[in-house]
Amino acid sequence: MSVVLKIGIGLITSKLLAVFVGPSGMALVGNLRNFLTSLESISTLGFQSGIVKYVAENEKNETEIQKIIATVFITLLLVVLILSGLLFFLASFWNSRIFGSNFKFSLVFKILALALPWYAISIFFA
């Protein structure tokens, strides 16, 4: 049932977007979605499944679990801070690459840069 609901909501959302922003707007939204998906993959470094695997393997060894979590946390924090800095300070560059020179959405990238560390850290609490 949830799959059907998800598909239905996706269709409605796409239709509303198409009506309000038109074909060129849909292309821009697609570009932004692709960028966000790539950024999500890079920022978490694929650690979600690795954390589950290694914690499950070491469920009885508390010190090993602490080492794993500390290593992942520090690595993610460093990568995300670098990505956020690049995203924030090069917001104009990313704006022109994703949306073209006709649109001024640099603020979107700056807000995304501020939200990215919180997203990456959330994998520890999900």
Range of 48's domain? 23-124
The whole model's pTM is what?
0.71
Residues 41-73: tens digit of each pLDDT: 887 777 777 777 888 888 888 888 888 888 888
Tokens of 33: 């979605």
Evaluate whether 106 touches 91 at the Cβ level (below 8 Å).
yes
Backbone phi and psi for residue 105, each to the nearest 5 degrees, phi listed first: -120, 30
Query: What pLDDT score does 110 carry?
Result: 93
To the nearest whole number, what is the mean pLDDT of the chain? 84
Q: Is 74 a domain residue?
A: yes
Q: Is 73 a domain residue?
A: yes
Instruction: Find the mean pLDDT for residues 82-109.
Output: 88
Indicate the DSSP class of residue 123.
G
Q: Is 5 a domain residue?
A: no
Separation of alpha carbons 86 and 50, rounded Å: 26
Q: Is 60 a domain residue?
A: yes
In the chain, the number of structural domains is 1
Query: What pLDDT score does 123 carry?
Result: 74
Q: Is 57 a domain residue?
A: yes
Q: Is 15 a domain residue?
A: no
* pLDDT of 1 over the 80 cut: no
Query: Of 40, 22, 31, 19, which Cα lies nearest the Cα of 87?
Result: 40
Query: What pLDDT score does 90 carry?
Result: 93
* pLDDT of 103 over the 90 cut: no
Query: What pLDDT score does 126 carry?
Result: 63
Confidence of residue 36 (pLDDT cuts 50, 70, 90): confident
Evaluate whether 95 touches 58 at the Cβ level (below 8 Å).
no
